[in-house]
Amino acid sequence: MKNSISLIPFLSLIIIALGCTNTTEENEMKMPMLFDNREQAEKEANKFGCKGAHQMGNKWMPCSMHKHNH
C-alpha cells in the first residue's frame, strides 16, 4: 500500500503533462481559420472535421457552429 501511495504524485504529474501538450492546437493554428467569404470557409470545413460555415464579424469560419473544445 505504501508503494502505491508514493506513485500517486508521479502519475499525477504524467497525466498533467500529457494534458498540457498542444501539438493539435499548434497544427490547427497553422491552417487559416478566417476567410473573406462563406464559400471559402465551407470548402475548408472538411479539414476541421465539420460541414458548413459561420460568420465571425465580417469574416467567415469553417463549421456551422463555433467550437470551444480545444
Q: Is 61 helix (H, G, I), strand (E, B) or coil?
A: strand
Distance CA 25, CA 39 (A): 24
67 in a structural domain: no
User: CB count, 10 Å around CB of 61?
Assistant: 23
pLDDT tens digits along 8-61: 776 666 666 566 555 555 455 566 789 999 999 999 999 889 999 999 999 999
Distance CA 41, CA 23 (A): 23
Range of the domain at 26: 2-62
pLDDT of 4 above 60: no
68 in a structural domain: no
Q: Which of 23, 66, 22 is nearest to 45 (CA)?
A: 66
69 in a structural domain: no
* Structural domain count of the chain: 1
Distance CA 43, CA 39 (A): 6
